[in-house]
C-alpha cells in the first residue's frame, strides 16, 4: 500500500507573479513520473499538500482544472516560513506534492442548476479551477447560467487578469468583477465589497446553488445576503481554510466538532455548518 505521507516529486515549470504587491504567485508544476500524474486524479474543490525540502508542507487549493492536462497550478500567498521559501524557488527546481486531498464541490447537485460563484481575494483559486472545468465544452451543457462575483482590494490585487478579461467577453458566463476601492479613472468594472455586489447582481435564487470561497469576513457578510435572496442553507456551499497538518484525518489538528476539515471538507454546505460548533 502506498505511504500516504510520501510526496510525489514535481518540477516547477513556470512561476507567474499575479499581484502588484508580488505576494501572490502561481506555480505551474509538472510531475516527474507520468504514473504519478495518472494517480493524482482530482476534482475541483480539492487541495494538496505542497512540500519544500527541509522546510515543511502547506495545504493549498488546486487552482488548475482536471480538464487542463499535463500540469497542476497552485496560487500561493506569501505569509510565513514555507510560503516564503516556495516564493524564492524558480523554474526547474524540484519540490513535492501529496494528494489530491479533501472532498470536492457538489458537482452532481450542481448539474441542471444556475451556479453562482462568489470569490474574494486569493481564495479564488479553487473557483478558477471550477470555472475552467464548467466552461469546458464537455461540461458546459450540464449547467444553466453561470454567474461569477469576484472581488479584490484593488485592481492590482486581482488574480488571473488575462483569464478574467477573456471570461468578461463570453456570452455563456456572467462576470461581475469588483474592487473595494480604486482611483484608476480607466477602471470599467464595479467598485464595492463582494456582499454588496452580490446583493445587486444576483436577483434570483430559484434553481440556483452558490459556491462561496473567500476570507472569513467576506463569508460572514455574504452568507446573510444569500439567505435573504432565498438560497436555502443546503444550497450555500462554503470552502474552509482551517490550519492543517496531516491532511488525511489522522493527526486531529483540523476538527470542528466531530468533523475533520481535511477529510470531511474543506467543502461544506451552510446546512452542515449550522449543525457544527462555530469554530471556523
Nearest to 118 by CA among 261, 242, 229, 255: 229
77 binds ligand FAD (CB under 6 A): yes
Which residues from 228-247 bind ligand FES, rule CB under 6 A? 244-247
Cβ nearer to ligand FAD, comparing 83 with 114: 83
Q: 23 with 66: CB under 8 angstroms?
A: no
258 binds ligand FES (CB under 6 A): no
- What letters, b where the CB count within 10 A reaches 16 and e where it falls short, cover 115-154? bbbbbbbbbbbbbbbbbbbbbeeeeeeebeebbbbbbbeb
| Nearest approach, Cβ of residue 142 and ligand FAD (Å) | 25
250 binds ligand FES (CB under 6 A): yes
Cβ nearer to ligand FAD, comparing 45 with 155: 45
243 binds ligand FAD (CB under 6 A): yes
C-alpha cell at 223: 452568507
Three-state DSSP at 7 gives: coil
* Cα dist from 160 to 26, 164, 166, 168, 231, whole Å: 9, 6, 10, 12, 28
Task: Name residue, grid cell 483569464.
Answer: 163
125 binds ligand FAD (CB under 6 A): yes
Of 222, 266, 268, 273, the one binding ligand FAD by CB under 6 A: 266
Which residues from 46-65 bind ligand FES, rule CB under 6 A? none
Task: Name residue, grid cell 487549493.
Answer: 61
| Nearest approach, Cβ of residue 78 and ligand FES (Å) | 22
- CA–CA distance, 8 with 13 (Å, rounded to integer): 15
- CA–CA distance, 218 with 108 (Å, rounded to integer): 26
Q: Which does 253 bind (CB under 5 to 8 A by kind): ligand FES, ligand FAD, none?
A: ligand FES
What are residue 12's DSSP bridge partners? Answer: 29
Q: In this chain, which stretch among 81-89, 139-147, 181-189, 217-225 interacts with ligand FAD, using CB under 6 A?
A: 81-89
Cβ nearer to ligand FES, comparing 20 with 279: 279
C-alpha cell at 199: 446583493
Of 76, 115, 226, 267, the one binding ligand FAD by CB under 6 A: 76
Of 60, 147, 197, 225, the one binding ligand FAD by CB under 6 A: 60
Interaction site with ligand FAD (CB under 6 A): 47, 58-61, 75-77, 79-83, 122, 125, 241-244, 266
Binding site for ligand FES (CB under 6 A): 244-247, 249-254, 260, 262
Amino acid at each position: 500500500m502506498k505511504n500516504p505521507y510520501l510526496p510525489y516529486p514535481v518540477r516547477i515549470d513556470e512561476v507567474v507573479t499575479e499581484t502588484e504587491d508580488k505576494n501572490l504567485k502561481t506555480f505551474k508544476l509538472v510531475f516527474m513520473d507520468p504514473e504519478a500524474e495518472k494517480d493524482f486524479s482530482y476534482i475541483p474543490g480539492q487541495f494538496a499538500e505542497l512540500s519544500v525540502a527541509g522546510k515543511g508542507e502547506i495545504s493549498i487549493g488546486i487552482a488548475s482544472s482536471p480538464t487542463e492536462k499535463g500540469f497542476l497550478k497552485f496560487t500561493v500567498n506569501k505569509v510565513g516560513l514555507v510560503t516564503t521559501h516556495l516564493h524564492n524557488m524558480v523554474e526547474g527546481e524540484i519540490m513535492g506534492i501529496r494528494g489530491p486531498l479533501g472532498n470536492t464541490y457538489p458537482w452532481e447537485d450542481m448539474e441542471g442548476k444556475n451556479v453562482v460563484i462568489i470569490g474574494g481575494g486569493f481564495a479564488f483559486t479553487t473557483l478558477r479551477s471550477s470555472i475552467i472545468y464548467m466552461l469546458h465544452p464537455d461540461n458546459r451543457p450540464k449547467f444553466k447560467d453561470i454567474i461569477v462575483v469576484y472581488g479584490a482590494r484593488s485592481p492590482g490585487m486581482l488574480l488571473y487578469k488575462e483569464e478574467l478579461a477573456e471570461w468578461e467577453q463570453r456570452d455563456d458566463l456572467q462576470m461581475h468583477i469588483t474592487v473595494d476601492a480604486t482611483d484608476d479613472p480607466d477602471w470599467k468594472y464595479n467598485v464595492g465589497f463582494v456582499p454588496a455586489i452580490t446583493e445587486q447582481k444576483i436577483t434570483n435564487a430559484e434553481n440556483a446553488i452558490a459556491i462561496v470561497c473567500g476570507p472569513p469576513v467576506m463569508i460572514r457578510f455574504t452568507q446573510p445576503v444569500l439567505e435573504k435572496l432565498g438560497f436555502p442553507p443546503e444550497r450555500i456551499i462554503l470552502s474552509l481554510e482551517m490550519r492543517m497538518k496531516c491532511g488525511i484525518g489522522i493527526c486531529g489538528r483540523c476538527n470542528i466538532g466531530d468533523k475533520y476539515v481535511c477529510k470531511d471538507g474543506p467543502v461544506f454546505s451552510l446546512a452542515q455548518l449550522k449543525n457544527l460548533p462555530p469554530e471556523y
